[in-house]
Amino acid sequence: MTKDSTMKRFVAAAVAVAATAALGSPARAGSAPPGDPVEGKHLFHTICILCHTDIKGRNKVGPSLYGVVGRHSGIEPGYNYSEANIKSGIVWTPDVLFKYIEHPQKIVPGTKMGYPGQPDPQKRADIIAYLETLK
């Protein structure tokens, strides 16, 4: 094997590793499976609706989740957030929501959200897929 062919193989392997790291491996632990927004809407209206709405600007015990994906924590107008949530610095990306919905108090200690969490990764992914439609 020549020095040139060895270098080409090394570069190809490095590019493959970098691409996998950037995109995330679907097989890695804690990654979200593909979500179904139709099932997510059903779950939202079964579980989340007790405290949240999917209507822009309408808060309940919890803030409206309309437009939550991509939003910074603690900024929904008209909702009285906990200091922990305001100071968390979180941006609600799908990955962050996936972890948060599993165990809210672990991700934001001191949150007012009393929900104990959703252990089922598919249900979390489905809810997030629905939340992504609320724009």
Question: Which pLDDT tens digit goes with each residue over 33-48?
Answer: 999 999 999 999 999 9
Q: How confident is the model at residue 30 (pLDDT cuts 50, 70, 90)?
A: low
**For 66-110, what is each residue's pLDDT tens digit?**
999 999 999 999 999 999 999 999 999 999 999 999 999 999 999
For 69, the domain range is 37-133
In a domain, 92, yes or no: yes
In a domain, 11, yes or no: no
Give the CATH number of the domain where residue 66 resides: 1.10.760.10
Give the pLDDT of residue 31.
76
In a domain, 9, yes or no: no
Give the pLDDT of residue 116.
95
Residue 29 structure tokens = 């632990």
In a domain, 20, yes or no: no
In a domain, 50, yes or no: yes
Give the pLDDT of residue 60.
97
Q: How many CA atoms lie within 13 A of 73 on its CB side?
A: 22
In a domain, 125, yes or no: yes
**Reported pTM:** 0.77
In a domain, 23, yes or no: no
In the chain, the number of structural domains is: 1
- Please name which of 30, 78, 28, 36 lies closest in space to residue 55, comparing C-alpha atoms: 78
For residue 16, give Cα distances in angstroms to 31, 36, 62.
19, 29, 43
In a domain, 59, yes or no: yes
Higher pLDDT residue, 123 or 27?
123
Residue 71 structure tokens = 């939003």
Q: How confident is the model at residue 12 (pLDDT cuts 50, 70, 90)?
A: very low
**For 47-57, what is each residue's pLDDT tens digit?**
999 999 999 99
Give the pLDDT of residue 47.
96
Q: Which value, to the nearest 10 degrees, does the dihedral of the CA atoms of residues 118, 34, 20, 89 take?
A: -40
